[in-house]
Structure 1
Amino acid sequence: MVKSLAEAYVHADIAWPRLIVDGDRAVGFLMAFLDADWHEDGGSVVRSGLWRLNIAAEEQGKGYGRFAVESVAAELRRRGATEFYVTWEPGDNGPEGFYLGLGFRKNGEVVESETVGVLDLG
């Protein structure tokens, strides 16, 4: 989480860090990116999405991750976004099933070996 907080400080213009709590217990952390320049095929587009999502191991499977993603989606909609982006490392133990189960679809892009997913917010 220290790395994430440092990145949020350095990228304060696009970072949206949030602690995920249940009552008085911290159960996770998320950081979204808002209106970030996304370099694509030599060009640049502006995108918003989920930069980082960490749920404590003992808290996984309890709906906190879904809550976090839905919270980011609500904030992006409030800001007028029509798409919500996320990337993940492919692999058997990765979060691909989680994101696809929430309605994200692979858009065919790969960024630094990570799969890019997008959720339509319309």
Structure 2
Amino acid sequence: MVRRMRLEEINPENYEAALAVKVRPDQEDLVEPVVKSLAEAYVYAEYAWPRLILDGDRVVGFLMAFLDIPWDPARDPEDVRSGLWRLNIAAEAQGCGYGRFAVEAVCNEVRARGGSRAYVTWEPRAGGPEDFYLKLGFRPTGERSGEQTVGVLDLHEDRSARAQ
């Protein structure tokens, strides 16, 4: 089977398909539902980059990136970051490479906008996505965002050495 993975902007024709993306029940406490992400994308339109993840015409997930957002302006006004804000892969589509594709797509967008690092946060608990992000090369920064671990990926690092 040939995969035709792609991202699509959320629009009036596909937003209901985005709202229908549901993760596994044991993951519902790890990621906000798509409806909340779309509300945040509306409120934070300057920074949010929401997209549907498709394989051909089949919706398999949703992602939202944050692009060029001031991390902690009170501490360091020069610390502007981009990365993955949300990743919801449909329960029936997990384990098929769509998450990896989504993270790579976000990293490509960050690079295209001149960024050299991509950030992500995750809930540090059993069954959480930490191993997934670590396998993709993210490393904990030592920072926390609420109760979540902050991870960073150097987009200029040679990943071929890590894959061996």
The whole-number CA distance in structure 2 between the counterparts of 1:14 and 1:119 is: 19
Map residues 1-122 of structure 1 onto 2, 5 A cutoff: 1-39=34-72, 42-44=75-77, 45-122=79-156
Amino acid at match of 1:6: A
The whole-number CA distance in structure 2 between the counterparts of 1:14 and 1:26 is: 24
SS in 2 for 1:109: strand
Question: How many aligned residue pairs are there?
Answer: 122
Structure 1 residue 40, shift from structure 2 partner: 7.3
Structure 1 residue 92, shift from structure 2 partner: 0.9
The whole-number CA distance in structure 2 between the counterparts of 1:40 and 1:112 is: 17
Q: TM-score when scaled to structure 2?
A: 0.72
Q: Which moved more, 1:36-45 or 1:68-77?
A: 36-45
Structure 1 residue 42, shift from structure 2 partner: 3.3
SS in 2 for 1:110: strand
Identity %: 68
SS in 1 for 2:103: helix
- Go from structure 1 to structure 2 and tell me whether the alpha carbon gap of 1:75 and 1:62 turns closer, same or farther (over 3 Å shift): same
List, as ranges, runs of 4+ consecutive aligned residues in structure 1 with deviation greater than 3 Å.
40-44
Unaligned runs of 5+ in 2: 1-33, 157-164
SS in 1 for 2:71: strand
Structure with the largest fraction of strand: 1
Indicate the structure (1 or 2) with the bigger Cα radius of gyration.
Answer: 2
